[in-house]
Amino acid sequence: MKRQWLPPKCAQLMIQLVKLANKERMNMTAVLTPPAAKTRGGATGLEALEMGAARIRVDDKKIINCRADLNQLVPFKYEWAWDKYLVACANHWMPTEINMTADVALWRSNDGLTPDERMIIERNLGFFSTADSLVANNLVLAVYRHITNPECRQYLLRQAFEEALHTHAYQYVIESLGMDEGRVFNMYRELPAVAHKAAWALPFTESLGDPSFHTGTFEANQRLLRDLIAFYVVFEGIFFYVGFTQVLSLGRRNKMVGTAEQFQYILRDESMHLNFGIDVINQIKIENPELWSASFQREMIDIIRQGVDLEYQYAIDTMPRGILGLNAQMFREYLEYVANRRCSQIGLAEQYPGATNPFPWMSEMIDLKKEKNFFETRVTEYQTGGTLSWDE
């Protein structure tokens, strides 16, 4: 196509029109930019977006209160977050891949399970079926918008999906066994030991989920750190371990092997969630050392101790008489051992001197790599299962 020649006056007019259009575009950008982005120190990348801004540098990135463009995934500052995201993707599984036939037959059998074993299955499904939804809501509605780093957000999105996947798994088990779904899903509002754990966790997410809440001040930053410790260290790092141990113990005795296998996959995911959360917590401490005051540390020790007490009561309520190889007092020892690990992982002093692990096979379960799983139903190594680590 032949170029059209423009007279000088027309060319000048075109240049003026282009300049005017550019000016209007800049004015429109200013109008559309939320006022908070101009004044709030904790503006997110989208709020702080600027036309023609310089490329993002690694040093521009921070876990919280970062004004760098969150749309730009690279360059990575926190390689550990991206590595965990990749491993989590390679670990993908679906609940419907697991054969539940043997579980259905055992559950329907009159003498297949003792009443205490049935109670363990029912009450743990009652807790976990809503617990992972609570965690997912906290991630999506509260935590995600306050974490101002794209590679960490990438993992949070994967974690939120996995929490939904876990809820799917519990629903699949409940449906397969023909349980009363309404009764099981409502158990967290009816069974005291389940309700108390949910009630304990809710205040930590409600304040962060308030649309008017923003980080950027000492008090707000500390509130976010408190929420992360409550959910990652206590809710996912302590509250899940009695139930996991109980169900997996049944699997080791060749009972409810499909349900136990679902829990084994979920445990593998949850160990990654916990490790990610601990890395985020410690990174916030490094970048904001003033938050980790002596009084705040004492408060965190208190909530960890509260978590141990609540989970021990849950062990009593789900297993009042004990079953073969398990009793409530063993769980007290185990919870104190786990709590010591959680304290040391975030830089707190261990609170229960001399606590030991009465269930060493649980560590073996988490560290499982290429060998056949103990249920002998399928290989549980994920695509990169050998890269998973755990320092329980």
pLDDT digits (tens, 9 = 90+) for 93-122: 999 999 999 999 999 999 889 999 999 999
Would you state the torsion angle of the CA atoms of residues 120, 121, 124, 127, taken in this order, to the nearest 10 degrees? -130
Q: For residues 171 and 188, what is the distance between their CA atoms, to the nearest angstrom?
A: 15
238-262 mean pLDDT: 95
Q: Is position 163 annotated in a ligand binding site?
A: yes
Of residues 371 and 9, more confidently modeled: 9
Provide the residue range defining the domain that includes 111: 79-387
Q: Is position 97 annotated in a ligand binding site?
A: no
User: CATH number for the domain including 110?
Assistant: 1.10.620.20
> Does the structure show a pLDDT above 50 at 33?
no
43-95 pLDDT, tens digit per residue, is: 554 555 555 567 777 777 788 888 767 777 778 788 999 999 999 999 999 99
170 is catalytic: yes
- 300 and 273 within one domain: yes
Residue 289 located in a structural domain: yes
188-199 mean pLDDT: 86
**pLDDT given at position 36:** 46
**pLDDT given at position 287:** 96
Arithmetic mean of pLDDT over the chain = 83
High-pLDDT (> 90) share of the chain, %: 57
Residues 6+ apart with CB under 8 A from 319: 116, 119, 120, 246, 326, 327, 328, 331
Query: Both tokens of residue 11?
Result: 């060319």
- 161 and 17 within one domain: no
- 221 and 111 within one domain: yes
- 41 and 153 within one domain: no
Residue 298 located in a structural domain: yes
202-227 pLDDT, tens digit per residue, is: 888 887 788 889 999 999 999 999 99
232-244 mean pLDDT: 95
High-pLDDT (> 70) share of the chain, %: 79
Q: Is position 206 annotated in a ligand binding site?
A: no
Query: Both tokens of residue 33?
Result: 């930019």
Helices then strands (H, E): number in the chain? 15, 0
- 93 and 56 within one domain: no
- 340 and 292 within one domain: yes
Q: Is position 60 annotated in a ligand binding site?
A: no
255 neighbors 128 (Cβ within 8 angstroms): no
In terms of phi and psi (left: phi > 0; alpha: psi -120 to 50; beta: otherwise), the region of 376 is left
- pLDDT bin (cut points 50, 70, 90) of residue 376 is very low
The half-sphere exposure of 136 on its side-chain side, counting CA atoms within 13 A, is 16
Residues 6+ apart with CB under 8 A from 6: 14
> Does the structure show a pLDDT above 50 at 385?
no
- 35 and 145 within one domain: no
Residue 359 located in a structural domain: yes
Residue 183 located in a structural domain: yes
- 222 and 144 within one domain: yes
Number of residues written out for the chain:
392
**pLDDT given at position 12:** 59
Residue 277 located in a structural domain: yes
- Helix (H) or strand (E) segment spanning residue 130: helix 115-138
**pLDDT given at position 50:** 58
Q: Is position 166 annotated in a ligand binding site?
A: yes
Residue 65 located in a structural domain: no
- 34 and 141 within one domain: no
Number of compact structural domains in the chain: 2
> Does the structure show a pLDDT above 50 at 391?
no
324-363 pLDDT, tens digit per residue, is: 788 888 999 999 999 999 999 999 999 999 999 999 999 8
**pLDDT given at position 233:** 97
Residues 6+ apart with CB under 8 A from 214: 40, 42, 146, 220
- 100 and 26 within one domain: no
| pTM, 2 dp | 0.80
> Does the structure show a pLDDT above 70 at 272?
yes
As a 3-state breakdown, the chain gives helix, strand, coil percent values, each rounded to 5, of 65, 0, 35
- 200 and 289 within one domain: yes
- 252 and 174 within one domain: yes
Residues 6+ apart with CB under 8 A from 363: 357, 390, 392
- pLDDT bin (cut points 50, 70, 90) of residue 7 is low
CA angle 334, 256, 186 (to 5 degrees): 75
Catalytic member of 85, 155, 170, 334: 170
> Does the structure show a pLDDT above 70 at 294?
yes
Residue 70 located in a structural domain: no
Residue 2 located in a structural domain: no
Q: Is position 92 annotated in a ligand binding site?
A: no
